[in-house]
Amino acid sequence: MQHFRTGPTVDCYSMGLALQRFPAVLLCILASLVSFSAAQVSSDKVAPQELVKRAVANELNPPDKDKKYLFQHYKRNANGTQTMLYAETREAMAGLVIAINDKPLTAEQRKGESQRVQRFIDDPEELRKKQRQEKENIDRVSRIIRALPDAFLYENDGSELGKAGVGRVGEELTRLSFKPNPKYDPPTRIEQVLTGMQGHILIDATLNRIALIDGTLQKDVSFGWGILGHLDRGGHIMIRQADVGDKHWQMTGVDMSFTGKILLFKSISAQSTETYSDFHPVASDTTFSQGVDLLKKYEAQWLLSQNK
């Protein structure tokens, strides 16, 4: 695949766009654990809680936040599969569906996708609405990230080696187990879900970057005294992140399985497997329109490779 570059590479990728059809609380769970970046800080004999605090501090103020990438997103759920392309731009995330159920879109479907993204270019208000939605997602993400050191108690749990899609291949990752902190009082519904989750986290202790979070709900978690809804015990999420080149880390995968109810009567079931791959840097000043053009060029090459 051609290396797409329109100028000097200078991103940290805003999540949640592929998850918007889920309830806001669930979106926050997923999005919060997504774009982990960090500075290099020595971490010999650092206490688990302090190691998490360092990683969180870097998440809230990533040193490489201006870098932007084009990448491929593949999602499988009960409805089938979908392949999308995303390009981060200075205005908003540009996205384009290129395949459904592992089959390239028909000419009519491609026309519909082109018209869908074109409306953001033709209508400034539509683009501003998209920007506001992305900002709201980022704000919720920041609340969850900020809560991580206080919401859980962490313990050393050995180490693992990084592998494709998780950390840096062959480099040691510190494994920490976590469980809810009984003293934590979530300030809003957004953080409430953390009170029921336990699991483990993998951290690159040299770079203070999170390579994996694997969490399971150990109990039902209710929102608004159960009136607004709840998530069932046993719900699971695993987020993977890795160095995708040029010492830049991006999310590489999300596996999740949640069930519950919203407003007492509406059942929810969110089960999916997602992978993010084929990362290509793009210029930091790429506009939304230019991002769409990059996606269409990528799609044309992808279609050619499929035909071959």
What does the pLDDT average to over 192-205? Answer: 92
87 vs 62: CA distance, rounded Å: 19
For residue range 112-125, what is the model confidence (pLDDT) as tens digits? 999 999 999 999 99
Half-sphere exposure for 148 (CA within 13 Å, toward CB): 32
Quote the tokens at residue 177.
């187990």
Looking at per-residue confidence, does 261 or 64 come out higher?
A: 261
In angstroms, the CA 194 to CA 5 distance is 39
pLDDT in tens, 119-159: 999 999 999 999 999 999 888 878 888 898 999 999 999 99
Residue 22 has pLDDT above 80, yes or no: no
pLDDT tens column, 273-289: 999 999 999 999 999 99
Tell me the two tokens of residue 82.
Answer: 């979908």
Percent of the chain with pLDDT over 70: 82
Closest CA to 110 of 307, 308, 295, 305: 295
Q: Where are the beta strands (DSSP E) in the chain?
A: 68-77, 80-88, 93-100, 103-104, 152-161, 172-180, 197-204, 209-217, 221-223, 229-231, 236-243, 249-262, 266-282
Statement: residue 290 has pLDDT above 90: yes
